[in-house]
A and B are shown apart, each in its own frame.
Chain A
Amino acid sequence: MRVFVVTVLVSLLSWAAQAGEYNLTVDRVTIDAGEFTKQGIGYNGSSPGPVLRFKEGEEVTINVTNNLDVSTSIHWHGLILPFQMDGVPGISYDGIAPGETFTYRFPIVQSGTYWFHSHSGFQEPEGAFGAIIIEPEGREPFRFDREYVVQLTDKHPHTGDRILRNLKMSADYYNRQQQTVGDFFADAQSQGFWSALQDRLMWGDMRMMKADIEDVQGFVGMINGKSPEQNWTGLFEPGERIRLRFINSSAMTYFDVRIPGLEMTVVEADGNYVQPVSVDEFRIGVAETYDVIVRPREDRAYTIFAESMGRSGYARGTLATAEGMTAEVPELRPAPLLTMADMGGHSGMDHSGMAMGDMDMAAMESDGMSGTDGAMAMDHGSMNGDMSGQMGGSMAMDHAAMGHAMPEADDNPFYADGSGLIPEAANGGRFLAYTDLRAQRPLYEDREPTREIELRLTGNMERYIWSINGVKYEDAEPIRLQYGERVRFKFVNETMMTHPMHLHGMWSILDVGQDKWNPIKHVISVAPATTVYMETEVDAPGEWAFHCHLSYHAASGMFRKVIVEGGPDSVADGDAEAVDGQEGEA
């Protein structure tokens, strides 16, 4: 029934047949990004590394041999495991010294699409990542005939150290989308000279840039290690259902993904099933994963087009019925610009307060309104309109118009009201919003959180310093949680950047106002000037990392250690190898 056609990468894995035991070497590799070739780091001789295919319920042993001359590590992104196996140097263990082999051993207690990457220095941006597929024990809540991993990255010609150094010297070092004199005259023409000037002065007064959406431009978007020209291609037979496992392994880049001519049905987010939702386009934050089902019926090629959120670059691949076929590659859409609404924490002006006020919608949904139809509450206005107009007419509900008519963007509470970042589908259709995500199978009983922890996402763009509650990692006390509690995290983004926040070891239940159907994720993207809530069942003892997954934000201080106190294994075992006790209870 299910034909598992393996990606190009998987073909490298003859060893994957020995279920349970895996070997990875960490190697220096050459990465050919088309426009440039650079030295990087890979696994088993390539970057991205192999696709690791685990089975839910199995116990895996992974021997990682470090062939580099520097220390390395592997973090199993999104996997629920004993903390000594989590692979974060300085928190879970000491890392893997040059020439050494470290043996990871842990049970696989979940299924879905995940990935792994180095948590040392800038090895991940330099290529040290790969995909993880975990087959479920039971039947999946959707059907597919083929599957492909679509692992996105933003390969940059500069080394990670150099990029951060450049950003520290000049935060706009890589920004080539800044407003120019020409833009000013264009604005002056369209909105009037004084208005354009006032606008410039307002931003200049804050010393903020509207165009500050992508810190690091100049990358080549890649799919499974292939540049747009190298064109990664997945084959299909017309009529087949194809499961595409999108993984954003970028250092810094959000992608807006579409496949012109195909509707995509999102069935999994961050490895957890979601109630299927069909969209024309979706935005994938750094380190997020989305599984979609597509069903191309024609004997032709389709382009997988992933534009960066700031439109400075793109990744491209192809679904085709034969090797070598291509479809039209769309033009990049114009770059978005931030608006005053995205400036929440920066200007002392009134509008920032306004933006924040509006954003408490998210809070209202779950707090004030006893949940179930928070989202509906926002719609009432437009719904009444619909009812009298469209539906009153001739009952026959105008089918064609309805499906795609929802102006999703305007009432998406995960962007500031009036934000310049609110995405729109290229074909005018439906763009996936966090509010569309519903858990297919709630993992936990829905219960009241025991307490709320506020995490203000803070930073200083000009100095390229990023922090939480104004404090950088090295100056911060760890966040202490008690085993067994359910913590509600309140993210308040006071910066004008979008931060994909990643808590290790425990699930992040994103509050979309749907109570027990709230989706279960491992990365929560928090847009500028918004407040977003997530809840975590504190069910994993030990010490964990919690950070912004943008590589250069994490390295600049937007990072915390989380200590879970109490629980079945409250005495942390210093020996990373001795996890047998853990596994029994995990």
Chain B
Amino acid sequence: MTSMSLKVLVSAAVLSVSAGAYAAGSHSGGHHAGEGDHASDGHHSAGNIGRAGNPEDVTRTIDITMYDNYYEPEVIDVNQGETVRFRITNQGALVHEFNIGTAAMHRSHQAEMMMMVEHGVLKGDHIDHDMMNMDMGNGHTMKHDDPNSALLEPGQSAEVIWTFNEQANLEFACNVPGHYQAGMSGEFDI
């Protein structure tokens, strides 16, 4: 990972990165999606979707550009067991997300994102970081720091490293409310 993208990451404190690469630091207390505890994490229990990858295992880098409200490319071929580094750039004018999951996972994640909008965390073209990091009781925040996703403001870029399993019907999607339904999703061909 370049120092450039590290800076973005630190300053924004919203990027989701591989848990393996960046431990504690940017994570909200207790809510930590490491490799081992996927099953215990409500959002990612949908099965064998793969896992956060180790940078050392990366065999390929794929550039993904997010526009309003679509990706380029919209179909990505990956191999089973392959670890891919996704370099994601938001070229749109709105906040967008790159999130790896099944349609069902995306659906439930959309409900969370809707909440972020309703609570003013997620604005059209920026994220209210103070609000997002605000302790909402029990040490929980609306922080967006899962290893399978990146939530980017316009102009930002980030990396997601992911190791794929055999899970079919895996999609990458933007779960900002309405965006998925408008067609901002893509398919993984595994």
Residues of A within 8 A of B (CB): 139, 141-144, 241, 263, 265-267, 275-278, 293, 295, 372-373, 376, 379, 383, 386-388, 391-392, 395-397, 399-400, 402-403, 406, 438, 440-441, 514, 517
A residues less than 8 Å from B140 (CB atoms) = 391, 395
Q: Are B183 and A293 in contact (CB under 8 A)?
A: yes
B residues less than 8 Å from A142 (CB atoms) = 69-70, 182-184
CB distance from A410 to the nearest CB of B (A): 14
B residues less than 8 Å from A295 (CB atoms) = 181
B residues less than 8 Å from A402 (CB atoms) = 111-112, 114-115
A residues less than 8 Å from B108 (CB atoms) = 399
Q: Are B111 and A241 in contact (CB under 8 A)?
A: no
- Chain B, residues 47-67, CB within 8 Å of chain A (1/0): the string is 000000000000000000001
CB distance from B153 to the nearest CB of A (A): 15
Q: Which of chain B's residues 83-120 have a Cβ closer than 8 Å to chain A?
A: 93-94, 108, 110-112, 114-115, 118-120
Known: A265-B181, A277-B177, A376-B120. A397 touches B112 (CB 8 A): yes
Q: Are B137 and A387 in contact (CB under 8 A)?
A: yes
Q: Are A397 and B178 in contact (CB under 8 A)?
A: no
Q: Are B178 and A277 in contact (CB under 8 A)?
A: yes
B residues less than 8 Å from A143 (CB atoms) = 70, 182-183
A-B contact pairs, 22 of them (CB 8 A): A141-B182, A143-B183, A265-B181, A265-B182, A267-B182, A275-B94, A275-B124, A276-B177, A276-B181, A276-B182, A278-B181, A293-B182, A295-B181, A383-B119, A387-B137, A392-B137, A396-B42, A397-B112, A399-B112, A402-B112, A402-B114, A514-B124
Give the distance in Å from the alpha carbon of A379 to the alpha carbon of B125 in the complex. 21
Residues of B within 8 A of A (CB): 31, 42, 67-70, 93-94, 108, 110-112, 114-115, 118-120, 123-125, 136-138, 140, 177-179, 181-184
Give the distance in Å from the alpha carbon of A276 to the alpha carbon of B179 in the complex. 6
A residues less than 8 Å from B68 (CB atoms) = 141, 440-441
Give the distance in Å from the alpha carbon of A142 to the alpha carbon of B174 in the complex. 12
Give the distance in Å from the alpha carbon of A512 to the alpha carbon of B115 in the complex. 20
Give the distance in Å from the alpha carbon of A509 to the alpha carbon of B136 in the complex. 36
CB distance from A370 to the nearest CB of B (A): 14
Closest partner residue, chain B, to A145 (CB atom): B183
- The listed residue (A144, A276, A277, A387) touching B136 by CB distance below 8 A is A387
Give the distance in Å from the alpha carbon of A396 to the alpha carbon of B135 in the complex. 14
Closest partner residue, chain A, to B107 (CB atom): A399
Known: A141-B68, A395-B31. A441 touches B93 (CB 8 A): yes
CB distance from A108 to the nearest CB of B (A): 22
B residues less than 8 Å from A441 (CB atoms) = 68, 93
Known: A395-B31, A440-B68. A373 touches B177 (CB 8 A): no
Closest partner residue, chain B, to A383 (CB atom): B119
Closest partner residue, chain B, to A264 (CB atom): B181
B residues less than 8 Å from A277 (CB atoms) = 177-178
Give the distance in Å from the alpha carbon of A403 to the alpha carbon of B112 in the complex. 8
Give the distance in Å from the alpha carbon of A561 to the alpha carbon of B79 in the complex. 66
Q: Are A372 and B181 in contact (CB under 8 A)?
A: no
CB distance from B24 to the nearest CB of A (A): 18
A residues less than 8 Å from B42 (CB atoms) = 396
Q: Considering the complex of A and B, which 9 residue pairs feature the smallest CB-CB distances, nearest first? A: A143-B183, A276-B178, A276-B182, A142-B182, A265-B181, A392-B137, A399-B111, A395-B140, A403-B111
Known: A144-B183, A440-B68. A265 touches B178 (CB 8 A): yes
A139-B67, A143-B182 given; name 13 further pairs at CB < 8 Å.
A142-B184, A143-B183, A267-B182, A276-B178, A276-B179, A276-B181, A293-B183, A391-B140, A392-B136, A392-B137, A396-B42, A403-B114, A441-B93
CB distance from B118 to the nearest CB of A (A): 6
Closest partner residue, chain A, to B126 (CB atom): A372
Closest partner residue, chain B, to A295 (CB atom): B181
Q: Are A397 and B115 in contact (CB under 8 A)?
A: yes
Closest partner residue, chain B, to A400 (CB atom): B111
B residues less than 8 Å from A386 (CB atoms) = 119
A residues less than 8 Å from B125 (CB atoms) = 517
- The listed residue (B112, B115, B138, B179) touching A392 by CB distance below 8 A is B138
A residues less than 8 Å from B137 (CB atoms) = 387-388, 391-392
Give the distance in Å from the alpha carbon of A471 to the alpha carbon of B137 in the complex. 58
Give the distance in Å from the alpha carbon of A295 to the alpha carbon of B115 in the complex. 23
